[in-house]
Chain A
Amino acid sequence: MSDLEVTVEQSETAAVVHAAGSVDSNTAPQLQEPLLRAAENGAVQLDLAKVPYMSSAGLRVLLLAAKALQKRGERLRVINAPAQIYNVLNISGFTSFIDVSS
């Protein structure tokens, strides 16, 4: 049973990937595939408004997307990060190579 839903919509400037549900080792692959596909094609925004929890498996997916984007000199943009996830991204140094807004 999946408890993470991922949808992708294309705005004028970027693909916006919306995630809804916890991202952990069980669900991270469901985020990884569409996020990396979007990252191969252009700018990406990841909307975490409906993600209550993200484990290191989720961080790994962000890292992979950031590396894919970095090859083109772009940065991953995470939007609507809940306070706790914003906190972890900041403390662990992710905000030095991805843009995060809460």
Chain B
Amino acid sequence: MKIETNVWQKVPGTPSVELFAIILKANCVSSNCYIFSAPDALVVVDPGASSEQTEQISRVLTDAVAVSQRPILVFLTHCHQDHSQEAGGLGFPAGTEVKRFAHQSGVEAMKHRDRNLTTAYLYPWNPEICAAEFEGILFASNPAATPPAIELADGRRFELYSEPIRMPDGETLQHQWLSLGGGNRLEIYHTPGHSACSISLRIGSLLMLGDLPFAANPGVCGLDGWNHTDLLQTLRKVDRLMETTAVEVCCPGHGYCVSAQSMREKLRLMESEASNLTDVPLMDAERITALKIYVDELLEETAALLTIFSGRLYTASYYLSLLDEQDSAATRVLGALDIDQIDRILSDFRRIAEAFNTCAMPEWTVVLKGVQVARSLQNVLSTEHVRQLLDFSLVDRAERRLEDFLSLIRGLQFLQTEPPGVVNEIVVNLMKRLKETMMAEPTDLMGSLDDDQTFLQALTRRLAVYSPLRDIEFEFAPAAKDTKANIGAERLDDILTNLLEGMAAMGVKHIGIATRVASGQVEIQLSSRQRLDPAALGKRRLDLYNRTLGWLGGKLERHEHDGNTEFIIRLPLLNSA
């Protein structure tokens, strides 16, 4: 069943409930809103936080009340600002009764104007927390009556029946329900994890999960109220719930509705990902600011690497077009990698980052967008074509940056996945690799002469691995002492290669590399025989290398000596014993 937006449609699995879904393009400012029309009540799930949406909800409710006067029951899947802000702002005809429902802990968070638990702190415009009265306290620890009941002015009552559901593993899913008349029921489940006050709601075959589907996302896990143990339990319980009830469609708090089957697959994948998230630090304002700076640096670095990718492919296509009147070989080369797609991803991000700088976007949005961009780029880079066409080291460098970013933003530690390396060996291997790339004999071309396609691929690859380091004269003066340092070969190679390429691109013809051991540190000195424009490598890129080295206890310095530019990397020396 497809959920249509902005029209009434029948809810499957119910005798007579209809749904009006307001579904927005996923964003962190305002949630989706689901409005249900049942014989005894109109139900609003998550009014959201945008004034336009509030106006639309109010119009829909006014029209529905005009057809049949009924009370309005407003439910929050949780108390986060993007779902709750407008719960008190809806408009409806005079005489219409409104009762609001939320989990007890959410009601308390809003009552105490808790900017962390409501996530109001994420938004730079300092939004008001919903101050409306919540008559329906869900899953109350000490209910005033059993069953708790919400009474209307005319004496009618909505009774909240509690029927905990026993799970096969002995756990219990807290469950309440109320009647919507005509044999229709609204089922409510306590599903904490994303927040302590998270609930899921079911009407017939429709299950509204709030933000549960995003709870393990980088940038979302770690928000105040997030709980790893609760989340894993909830995921298991919801999976079981979907197995045992006739759920057909799942309606998330953001983005489009999906089939129950797709959602179960997504939640299972999420469970396996979330199992590692045992030590997620609190995503407070300070951490978000730090992450935002890191996002900027990372995207600058990735954009630089990907522009170089594209540039190398364009260079290859230029030379192929000289050989090929029809341009078909060149066209095929460019078709192998969706450069425009990469460019659009990065351009969109750049615009969002700029919007942030004009205070039009929360920092958190930039962080979340960064996550989305990193994942999209990971998908592009993982295709076989890219690896066939481009210099492996360039692809690997970009991939490692994205992996580091996604791990860190999720709150995992910066991953030193490789064993510490011996700096002298790393430098020697790097120089050897560069030399091999530059000196690659045309055997690959000779060996592929029999087949057009293979020959084109080999030729393209040779053109696309163009390196500015090919004309550089290197001189290496290794330290005589042991140079085992706290860094893996790949990360040090990445930083060194980027610095060397940057120096070469600025016209340097000679680069001296020297290693030294002093005061418990290994020092790697890259020196040119000329002054280099500090802007050429990009401040943010240098900041990123410095940050990466900083996580490993090291740092990157730039010095000017007698008109020459030097980069010095310092790393903690490790005992090789």
Interface residues, chain A, CB within 8 Å of chain B?
22, 24-26, 53-57, 59-60, 63, 66-67, 70, 82-84, 86-94, 96-97, 102
> Are B308 and A91 in contact (CB-based, < 8 A)?
yes
B339 nearest in chain A by CB position: A56
> Are A59 and B314 in contact (CB-based, < 8 A)?
yes
A26 to B340 CA separation, bound complex (whole angstroms): 11
Q: Nearest 10 CB-CB pairs, A to B?
A: A92-B311, A56-B310, A83-B536, A93-B315, A93-B466, A90-B505, A24-B347, A87-B505, A83-B533, A25-B343
Per-residue 0/1 for B172-216: is the Cβ within 8 Å of any A Cβ (1 yes, 0 no)?
Answer: 000000000000000000000000000000000000000000000
> Are B314 and A55 in contact (CB-based, < 8 A)?
no
> Are B505 and A26 in contact (CB-based, < 8 A)?
no
> Are A86 and B350 in contact (CB-based, < 8 A)?
no
For the complex formed, measure the closest distance between the CB of B51 and the CB atoms of chain A, giving whole angstroms: 24
B543 at the interface (CB under 8 A from A): no
A13 to B195 CA separation, bound complex (whole angstroms): 68
B342 at the interface (CB under 8 A from A): yes
> Are B347 and A57 in contact (CB-based, < 8 A)?
yes
For the complex formed, measure the closest distance between the CB of B161 and the CB atoms of chain A, giving whole angstroms: 55
Contacts of A54 in B (CB 8 A): 307
Among the listed stretches B61-69, B150-158, B316-324, B449-457, which one makes contact with chain A, having 4 or more residues with CB under 8 Å of it?
A: B316-324
> Are B315 and A94 in contact (CB-based, < 8 A)?
yes
Cβ-defined partner of B312 (8 Å) among A60, A87, A93, A102: A93
> A87 and B537 in contact (CB under 8 A), knowing A24-B350, A67-B318?
yes
Contacts of B319 in A (CB 8 A): 97
B394 nearest in chain A by CB position: A91
A102 to B535 CA separation, bound complex (whole angstroms): 12
A24 to B354 CA separation, bound complex (whole angstroms): 14
For the complex formed, measure the closest distance between the CB of A102 and the CB atoms of chain B, giving whole angstroms: 8
For the complex formed, measure the closest distance between the CB of B252 and the CB atoms of chain A, giving whole angstroms: 29
A89 to B419 CA separation, bound complex (whole angstroms): 35
For the complex formed, measure the closest distance between the CB of A62 and the CB atoms of chain B, giving whole angstroms: 8
For the complex formed, measure the closest distance between the CB of A53 and the CB atoms of chain B, giving whole angstroms: 8
A22 to B319 CA separation, bound complex (whole angstroms): 27
Per-residue 0/1 for B462-480: is the Cβ within 8 Å of any A Cβ (1 yes, 0 no)?
Answer: 0100111000000000000
A102 nearest in chain B by CB position: B533
For the complex formed, measure the closest distance between the CB of A48 and the CB atoms of chain B, giving whole angstroms: 14
What are 20 A-B contacts with C-beta separation under 8 Å? A24-B346, A25-B343, A26-B351, A55-B303, A55-B343, A83-B506, A83-B533, A84-B537, A88-B311, A88-B505, A89-B311, A90-B506, A91-B308, A92-B311, A92-B312, A92-B466, A93-B463, A94-B315, A96-B315, A96-B466
For the complex formed, measure the closest distance between the CB of A50 and the CB atoms of chain B, giving whole angstroms: 15
Contacts of A55 in B (CB 8 A): 303, 307, 343, 346-347
A59 to B315 CA separation, bound complex (whole angstroms): 10
Consensus secondary structure, chain B interface: helix
Interface residues of B in 119-164 (CB under 8 A from A): none
B310 nearest in chain A by CB position: A56
> A92 and B347 in contact (CB under 8 A), knowing A56-B339, A86-B505?
no
Cβ-defined partner of A70 (8 Å) among B312, B322, B343, B536: B322
For the complex formed, measure the closest distance between the CB of B480 and the CB atoms of chain A, giving whole angstroms: 34
Interface residues of B in 294-334 (CB under 8 A from A): 303-304, 306-312, 314-315, 317-319, 321-322
> Are B318 and A97 in contact (CB-based, < 8 A)?
yes
Contacts of B504 in A (CB 8 A): 90-91
For the complex formed, measure the closest distance between the CB of A70 and the CB atoms of chain B, giving whole angstroms: 7
A48 to B536 CA separation, bound complex (whole angstroms): 14
> Are A63 and B506 in contact (CB-based, < 8 A)?
no
For the complex formed, measure the closest distance between the CB of B501 and the CB atoms of chain A, giving whole angstroms: 5
A67 to B303 CA separation, bound complex (whole angstroms): 25
Contacts of B520 in A (CB 8 A): none
For the complex formed, measure the closest distance between the CB of A57 and the CB atoms of chain B, giving whole angstroms: 5
A91 to B306 CA separation, bound complex (whole angstroms): 12
Per-residue 0/1 for B372-387: is the Cβ within 8 Å of any A Cβ (1 yes, 0 no)?
Answer: 0000000000000000
Contacts of A93 in B (CB 8 A): 311-312, 315, 463, 466
A7 to B331 CA separation, bound complex (whole angstroms): 30
Cβ-defined partner of A87 (8 Å) among B318, B339, B506: B506
Q: Which of A60, A63, A84, A87 has the most CB of B within 10 A?
A: A87
A86 to B468 CA separation, bound complex (whole angstroms): 12
Contacts of B563 in A (CB 8 A): none
B502 at the interface (CB under 8 A from A): yes
> Are A25 and B340 in contact (CB-based, < 8 A)?
yes
> Are A87 and B466 in contact (CB-based, < 8 A)?
no
> Are B466 and A84 in contact (CB-based, < 8 A)?
no
For the complex formed, measure the closest distance between the CB of B300 and the CB atoms of chain A, giving whole angstroms: 10
For the complex formed, measure the closest distance between the CB of A75 and the CB atoms of chain B, giving whole angstroms: 11
A92 to B304 CA separation, bound complex (whole angstroms): 10
Contacts of A96 in B (CB 8 A): 315, 466
Cβ-defined partner of B538 (8 Å) among A60, A63, A84: A84
Cβ-defined partner of A67 (8 Å) among B304, B321, B343, B467: B321
Contacts of A86 in B (CB 8 A): 505-506, 536
B337 nearest in chain A by CB position: A56
Contacts of B344 in A (CB 8 A): 25
> A87 and B347 in contact (CB under 8 A), knowing A56-B306, A56-B342, A96-B466?
no
> A87 and B343 in contact (CB under 8 A), knowing A60-B314, A92-B466, A94-B311?
no
> Are A97 and B347 in contact (CB-based, < 8 A)?
no
A97 to B502 CA separation, bound complex (whole angstroms): 20
Contacts of A22 in B (CB 8 A): 350
A102 to B533 CA separation, bound complex (whole angstroms): 11
A91 to B500 CA separation, bound complex (whole angstroms): 11
Q: Which of B344, B346, B347, B468 has the most CB of A within 10 A?
A: B347
Q: Which of B307, B317, B340, B537 has the most CB of A within 10 A?
A: B307
B533 nearest in chain A by CB position: A83
A54 to B350 CA separation, bound complex (whole angstroms): 12
Per-residue 0/1 for B65-106: is the Cβ within 8 Å of any A Cβ (1 yes, 0 no)?
Answer: 000000000000000000000000000000000000000000
A22 to B507 CA separation, bound complex (whole angstroms): 24
